[in-house]
Every structure is written in structure tokens, then in C-alpha cells.
Structure 1
Amino acid sequence: MRKVAVILGTRPEAIKCAPVIRALADDPRFSPLVLSTGQHRQMLDETLAAFGISADVDLGVMTDKQTLSQVTHRALSGLAGPLTDAGVEAVMVHGDTATTLAGGLAGFHHQIPVVHIEAGLRSGNLYSPFPEEANRRLVAQISELHLAPTPGNYANLIREGINESKIVVTGNTVIDALRWASGQAVDYGHPSLEDLDDDPRRVILASAHRRESWSMLHEIGAAIRDIATDEAVRIVVPLHRNPVVRKAMLAEIDGLPNVDIVDPLPYVSFCRLMLRSDIILSDSSGAEEEGPALGKPTLVLRDITERPEAVAAGTARLVGRTRARVTAEVKGLLHDPDLYARMSTAANPYGDGKATDRVVGALAHFFGDGPAVMPFVPGSRILPAPELVASVA
């Protein structure tokens, strides 16, 4: 049985790694060792618990007002002991966070093969998003197995000189997590949303939190205020806990009668909220993937993205962050039935709900314990949206 260290620290990593951890635990060939840096404390713990997972080692690296360098240093230092003592044969990291970079370096320093889940995403701008774009490029240089979600991600890695034998196109495990979450019977996770199913208004799910968005949060908030002048819409804003985000957004949207401001929701409740929504307006990378999978037109509060597939497919649009542009794009979508229909029926480019099987299969093949994996081919939604809605009603 091969011991595989799965290193994570943020809520998105927990969501996307959870199906893999569960599958590794069920596979007699593997034994997962879950190492948490605790980069996102409360949201990370809540998400792992929802999947019935607990960390084997928790480093608890976060302290108040520390820098990116300090976070990375503490994570890298803390991982040395578990990787040395545990007989680990592979290190799995996901995506592009400080935890990802520290985990990849820790594996490399101990000469343990690094397996990169969600490999090959590129915006083309080293500083956008910051520091994520640099993190994922750096981890690519020390990874032995690159698990790319899409053919476009595969092409990015090939252009950078990665040997094709080290790349497998798996689809994105976030779709597997979404499929699981859609089958859980839960409420919306906040008292103010209890009447949401009976509300005839169109629901807009809006959020913004990225560091690159901070200087424009007042513009985004003002756009939400303008959109809320339409009494036929209801806007739900799960507000990030970061005080910079909260101060800027609340200054613009607090007290509006048809805007529900809630704390970040538990993952499964958030999935239900996405299902109920008519439009998703967000700078979240998860929303860029989950919205298209659910047939929800997704307006991305960014100027560039490392996830261009949904934009190319027509189910997502880059709308920037200025008040005028964001307001116009949302109102255009609300009042153009043909545009809405086109965006809500475009094919999902990110997964078919079987990415986890491909990830585990690719890992087994890497060790010579299984056959090569047939790559993911984009083109279908995981389930028709009405079925998903019914499954959580």
C-alpha cells in the first residue's frame, strides 16, 4: 500500500481534494496522509468536515497580518517532519496557493515525486492573479505528474516543455465535489435565505474577494447597488471574512432591501444557493467552473482568466470590475432572453464527474500499478440542472 501525502490548506483545495482523498482511502493500493497547513482556518475545517475528512497533521500556520513569505516559510518548515517520518511515496498538491508552493517544494526537497492536481492553468500574466500565477508555474517545474483539467491546460504545459508522458487530462475534481454536494439534503445555511425557494424574483449570487479586486471593491459594490434598483431581482452576497473586503463592500451595499448579506456559507449550502441562482456574478475561480456545470450564466469580475474554456464555450463572460460595465452586463443578461438562453445551455468544459477516477488511475499508472488512463474530453454537463435542483429540494 503506497502512502500518498495530500497537502492542502484552503477551502478550494479542500473542496477539490476531498473526492480524491476519499477515493484513495477506498483504494487498496493507496493510503492517504492528509496534511493541512491551516491557511484558511475556519472555512477549511468546515469543508473537510462536510466531506467526513479530518487532517492527520495540522500545522496551523496562520497568524495575524503575516506576509506571503511568512506563510510559505512556516508551511515549508512544518511539512519537513511529516514527510520525513511517514514513509511517503508521493506528494499531491493542488492548484496555486502558498500551501501548494510550500507542499511542492517540501516534496522536492525530500526527493518525493510531486503530483500536481489542476495543473497547467495559465493567465499569461505573472502578476495576475498574484501570487497564484507564479505559484502554479513554479510547481510545474518540480512536478513528476501533471493532472491537467482540460486539453487547453495540457497544451499550456506542452508549450512550456513538459514531457507529454507526464501529463494526464483528468477533468476538474470540483465537478465531482459538486455532484456529491448536489445530492445532500441541506438548507441554505442562513436564516435570511429560508424563503428563497418561494421568492418569485430572479436571484443573483454575487461575491468578490480576490486580492487583485481590492482596489475596485467600491466599484463592484456600487454596481451591486445599481443592479438592486430593479425590484424584480434579489441579490445574495456571501461576504468574505477579510476585513478589507467587508469594509469596502458594506460601505456600498449595507441596508439595501433586496440584498441579503450573509457570512460565507458552508460548501454544501453554497452549492444549493448556486442551484437556486439565475445569475452568478463573482471573481471566484470556483464559480468560473461550477456555474457552467450547473447551466448558470456566470459573469466573471476579472479582466483576464486562467480558465478561458467557459468564456470560449459561451457560458461565462469576463466583465471587468468597473461599476458601469458590471451594471450593464448584468442588466443586459436580465433583459435579453436569447442571451440568457445561450449562456445557460452552453456545454460544460470542465468535467463529467469522473475526474477523481482519472486522478487515482493516473497515480496508479505512474507507479506501475495500473493501466494508462483515457483522457477527459469536454462537452457535457454533469446532470441537467432540473435534476440537480430536485436532488436538493
Structure 2
Amino acid sequence: MTAPARILTIFGTRPEAIKLFPLVHALEADSRFDSRVCVSGQHRGMLDQVLHIAGLTPHHDLALMQPDQTLDELTARLITGLGRVMDEEKPDWVVVQGDTATAMAGALAAYYRKVPVCHVEAGLRSGSIYHPWPEEVNRKIIGSIAALHCAPTETAQAALLAENIDPATVHVTGNTVIDALHWITARIEAEPELASGLAPLEQRFAGKRIVGVTTHRRENFGEGMAQIASAVRRLAARDDVAVIFPVHLNPNVRAVMDQELGGIGNVAMIEPLDYPHFARLLAIADLMLTDSGGVQEEAPALGKPVLVMRETTERPEGVAAGTAMLVGTDAGRIVAEATRLLDDRAAYAAMAQAHNPFGDGHSARRICDLLAG
């Protein structure tokens, strides 16, 4: 009897954890695999929230997060720390997701040991190495190393083939974020108390249009954040609008938002939400303003239009399908497009009812089958 393949799944941030826990669950339930999990701790509290709700206990936790660390310091610690884990575990495959420093360093450490890499959410490209920064280069590095490319969409597949990646290694699997969203939505339906923490805000803002806001991108630090804050302030001047804004922990975000939005009655600046509460925010919001990648995929699955506060997106499928719109960080443009959606029912319906191109909730099973060969 063939021994199960040892799969080392590596992640370190909240978005990675959300997108990989469905795959870890699938690997653990499949007798073809011996599943091992290593977390870097690139995010700490936000990562731990997802581990808890998903019921995951990592076999290795590097706890590498340090205040104000530079990207090169983090990368150096990631490569050496993850390398030690691989030397101990001797995996048959290393699985990484997306475009973080953890994913890039994990792929590189695996390459140094000639361990094949499976890249989940492969093939996303914005076309600019500085937008998003440093994620665009991270995923290009992983793409040059990976032996198995799990592309979420046909657009991502085409991007990989255009880079002369071997077509036999590229497979359209859908995005595991939709698997995760289906899972957490079902959990909340069965256990409403998991997401009951937003109830006071839901009562406070009853009868108002809810605009959800998230922002954290490095390339938006400085003037971009100031413009986003200005846009939120102008939208909140409407009597019929309330803003729920989970503010990222990074001081480059918090300092600006505290100064510009503090004390505005219908702007609720709250602590970052755990995964069930964020899913609840998506459910109650009329509209999302974000510079996040994941929200561009998640919100359309619940029929919520997304205004993307970035100059480029590596998820053009959402824009092409009509579920998302690139608006950049100019306050006037953000306000104009948000106002159009809030006031024009036909424009809103066109985005809310557009086809979600990112998956059907069965991506993890497809990836397991690919790993099994």
C-alpha cells in the first residue's frame, strides 16, 4: 500500500488562513494525504481568530511578527524558519497561497530543497510590479517555482500560459475563498451567536444604507489614505448612509482615520473583525469600499457591489463581470461612484446581480485530487 503523501501547508496572514482552511480540512479528511500545517505568524491576532473558528491547530508556529519590521528582515527570517520546518518534516509537497511574503519565502525555501510547490490562487497579475506592492512580485516569483498552479479563473490560467508556464501544470480550480464563505455562512446560520457582535451597530443604523469600508494596502499609505478618509467623510454626510469601518491595525491607517473620521456619528470605526463578523458585515452592507483583494471575491458571492480603491487589480474578472469597479483613491471619484450606486437602483442592480466569476465552493476538493496525481 502506498504511503500517504505528506503535504506541508504554509500560511501566515488572515487572508491566507481563510483561503487555505477549506483545503486543510479536505486534506485532513482524505486518506491519500498526511497533512501538516506551518504558520509563520506574519499576522498574529487576526490569524489566530481564523485558526480558532476553523478548528485548526498548526504543527509549527514560527511567531515571526515583530513591530515595524522591514520586508527584507521578515523575508530573511521566513526563509530560514520555514527551511528548518521543511528539513524536519521532509514533505512531498509544499502548498502556499496567494502573494504574501510567507508564500514567496515558503516557495523559495521549498525550491532550495527541490520540494515541489503547489500554488493556490495562481496566475493573478496586475501588470505593475508596484501595484500591489510587494504582492505582484511575490506571486511572480512563486509562479516561476511552482510545479502545480491552481488558477482560480480562466483569466488567471491565461496569464500563466502567457508567461510560458507548462500548460500541463496549470489547472482552473476556482477560488477557495468561496469554499470558505459557504462554510462560514452555514456556520453562522446554525450558530447566530458567532456573529452577534455587530447587532448593536445594526440596531443603531437601522433604516440607513450601510457602506462597509476596508483599507490597508501599502501603496495607499500617505495621500491615498487621506483621500479615502475624505471620501468616507463626505459619504457619511448623507442622512441615509452609515459607515462601518473595521480599521486595520497598521498605524499608517489608524492615525489617518482617527484624525479625519473620529467623532462622526454615523461612522463606526471598529476593531478588525474576526471572520464570522466580517462575513456578517458583507451580509448587511449595501456596498463595499475596499483596497483588499479578497473582498473583491467575497462580496460578489453575496450580491454586494464593490468599489476597488486601487489603480489596478489582479482580479479583472470581477470588473469584467460587472461585480467590481476600479475607482482609485481620488476622493471625488470614490464619492461619485458610491453616490451613483446608492441613488440609481438600476446601476446598483446591474452590479449586485452580476455573475460571480470566482468559484462554486468546490475548489478544495479539486486541489486535493490534483495533489493526489
| TM-score band, normalised by shorter chain | over 0.9
Contact 2:131 2:311 in 1 (8 A): no
SS, match of residue 349 in structure 1 = coil
Matched, 1:223 2:236: no
Name the residue aligned to 1:375.
none
In 2, are the aligned partners of 1:190 and 1:262 still within 8 Å (CA)?
Answer: no
Is 2:366 the partner of 1:361?
no
2:166 corresponds in structure 1 to 163
Deviation at 1:244, TM superposition (A): 1.2
Is this contact kept in 2: 1:189–1:266, CA < 8 A? no
1:94 partnered with 2:97 = yes
> 1:26-66, CA deviations, whole angstroms, 9 ceiling, x for partnerless residues?
00001211111100011001111110002110111121221
Cα distance in 2 for partners of 1:132, 1:122 equals 10
Residue 255 of structure 1 deviates from its aligned partner by 0.8
3-state SS, counterpart of residue 221 of structure 2 = helix
Which residue does the alignment assign to 1:138?
141
Distance in 1 (CA, whole Å) between partners of 2:307 and 2:66 is: 34
Give 1:192 shift.
Answer: 4.3
Superposed displacement of residue 193, structure 1: 2.2
Distance 1:332 1:111 in 2: 53
Correspondence for 2:257 among 249, 252, 256: 249
Aligned-CA RMSD value: 1.1
TM-score by structure 1 length?
0.91
The one-letter code of the counterpart of 2:316 is P
Matched, 1:211 2:218: yes
Amino acid at match of 2:97: H
SS at 2:49 equivalent: helix
Match of 1:222, as an amino acid?
S
2:345 corresponds to which of 326, 331, 337: 337
Contact 2:177/2:298 (<8 A) preserved: yes
Please state whether the residue corresponding to 1:5 is helix, strand or coil.
Answer: strand
Contact preservation (8 Å) 1:228, 1:258: yes
User: Match of 1:125, SS?
Assistant: coil
**Is 1:83 matched up with 2:96?**
no
* SS at structure 2 position matched to 1:290: helix
Q: TM-score, normalised on structure 2?
A: 0.96
Q: What CA distance in whole angstroms lies between the structure 2 residues aligned with 1:275 and 1:84?
A: 44
Match of 2:119 in 1: 116
- SS of the residue aligned with 1:199? coil
- 1: CA distance, partners of 2:239 / 2:325: 24
**Cα distance per residue 1:200-244 (max 9 Å; x no partner):** 111110121110111211111011110011111111000001111
CA distance in 2, matches of 1:100, 1:114: 10
**How many equivalent residue pairs?**
364
**Percent identity between the aligned chains?**
45
SS of equivalent to 1:255: coil
| Paired residues of 2:5 and 2:32 also in contact (CA < 8 A) | yes
The amino acid that maps onto 1:133 is E
Q: 2:300 aligns with which of 285, 289, 292?
A: 292
Superposed displacement of residue 79, structure 1: 1.3
Query: Equivalent residue for 2:77?
Result: 74
Distance 1:234 1:188 in 2: 19
CA distance in 1, matches of 2:154, 2:140: 17
Cα deviation, 1:157-199, whole Å, max 9, x if unaligned, reads 0000101100110000000000011112222435742526x71
Question: For residues 1-393 of structure 1, what are the structure 2 equivalents within 5 Å?
Answer: 1-183=4-186, 184=188, 185=192, 186-190=194-198, 192-193=200-201, 195=203, 199-215=206-222, 216-365=224-373
| Distance (Å, rounded) in 1 between the aligned partners of 2:40 and 2:296 | 25
The answer to whether the 8 Å contact 1:154/1:167 transfers is yes
Residues in 2 aligned to 1:344 and 1:66: alpha-carbon distance in whole angstroms? 40
Letter in 1 for 2:230: A
